[in-house]
Amino acid sequence: MTNGLCSVRRVIGVIAVCSALGATAAGKAAAGEKRKDERILLALSDIVLTIDADSIQVVGQTRRLRSHTYLPIPDENGNIAYAANLEVDCARKLSRYTGATGTKADGKIERLDDDAEFTPIVVDTPVSVLRNQTCPIQSAKWDVGGVTLLAPPQAAARAIFALVQLGISSSAAAELASRTYDYAPSLLMRLNEQKVPKAKHRQVIEALGVLVEEEAKPPLPIVPQAAAVRSGKVGEYTHAEMELAAGLWLKADATFEYFLTVGSLDEAARGTWSADGDQITLKPGKIPAKQGEVDFTGWRVFAKGSDLTVIREGQPMLFERRKN
C-alpha cells in the first residue's frame, strides 16, 4: 500500500503498555444484539489503535486480523481514521496491509492501495503493537486482550484524545471512553474506579462528550444571585395528594426545576424565576423532548407564608416548603 497507513506506521514513537489495559469489558451488549468485538490496544494523545478480536486468524507463523486507527486531526492525506486487514509474519517480523480504507473528517470513505509485498516491522509503531499482541496467540480461542469497546469508535477516540490531554492515564482514558453513560451513579462509580480526582470530574465528563447522556451529568453548581436570595423564596416545595406528586425547586441562582407525576402523565421543566413581592414568575427554558411539555400560560404562583400557591387552569395547588 503506497499511501494512508504507510504514514500512520510512523506516527508515534512510544508504545503504550497494552497489558496494562487488561482484557476488560465496559458493559454488556443489549440482549440479542450482534456487536463487533473491537478492542482498544493503544490509547495516546495522537493515536488510538483498535483490533477486531473476532477477525484474528492463526495460520502457522502468520496472523491475519482487522485493525482500526483513529487520529485526532486529519493527516496529510485528509484522513482521520483508517481500517485495514493486516497480515503479520511473526517469524520473519514482516507485515503487509490489504483491503485498507481511509475515512475523511466528513465521513467519506476511500479505498487505499494494497501493499504489494511484505515489509519489515519497525519497532515502536502501531504495527509493532499489533505484532506483539497477536503473535503469542496460538488459536482463535485465545483472548487478544485490550479494552472492549462498547461505544461508537470515533466518539470514543475523540474522548480518549481529550482525556489524555487532561493528564488522564492511557489505561484510564481507554476504560472511561469505552462505553456510554445514561445513569449518573454508574458514571460516578466509573470515575472513582479509574481514580479520577474529584476536582477533575467535571472536566473529564466534558471530555467524554457525547458518550455521556444529559441525564447522567451532575447538576451545575449553584451560583447565588442577590435578588433571588433577597426575595426569601429560595427553597424546595412539594405537593402531594392521592396518586399525584409534584415538586418546585426555586434555586438561589434564579433557576427552577419543576416536576409532576400522576398516573401515566409525567411532566418536567426547567427555567428561570423571579419574584415581585409575593408574586413569582416562572419562565421555562428548553424542555427535553422525551419529557412531558409544560405550558405555563395562565399560571399564577404566589407566596403564602412559607409556602407557595400555584393556580393552574383555575385550580389552586398548595406547595409546602421543605424544612431542612
In tens, the pLDDT along 206-236 reads: 999 999 998 888 876 767 788 888 889 999 9
DSSP reduced 3-state for 76: coil
Query: Is 226-321 a CATH 1.10.3720.10 domain?
Result: no
CA gap 64, 277 in Å, rounded: 75
C-alpha span between 88 and 273 (Å, rounded): 65
How many Cβ atoms are within 10 Å of 316's Cβ, its own excluded?
10
Q: What is the pLDDT along the chain (324 residues), one digit of tens a residue?
A: 433 333 333 333 333 333 333 333 333 344 444 567 999 999 999 999 999 999 999 999 999 999 999 999 999 999 999 999 999 999 999 999 999 999 999 999 999 999 989 999 999 899 999 999 999 998 767 778 899 999 999 999 999 999 999 999 999 999 999 999 998 889 999 999 999 998 899 999 999 999 999 888 887 676 778 888 888 999 999 999 888 899 999 999 999 999 888 888 888 888 899 998 899 999 887 654 445 567 777 788 999 889 999 998 888 999 999 886
Question: What class has domain 5-148?
Answer: mainly beta
DSSP secondary-structure letter at 181?
Answer: B
Residue entry with cell 482525556: 163
In CATH terms, are 5-148 and 226-321 the same topology? yes
Measured between alpha carbons, how far is 85 from 79 in angstroms, rounded to an integer? 17
pLDDT in tens, 129-179: 999 999 999 876 777 889 999 999 999 999 999 999 999 999 999 999 999
- Length of the chain equals 324
Domain boundaries, the chain: 5-148, 153-216, 226-321
How many Å apart are CA 124 and CA 15, to the nearest integer?
6
Q: What is the dihedral of CA 292, 293, 296, 298, to 10 degrees?
A: -90
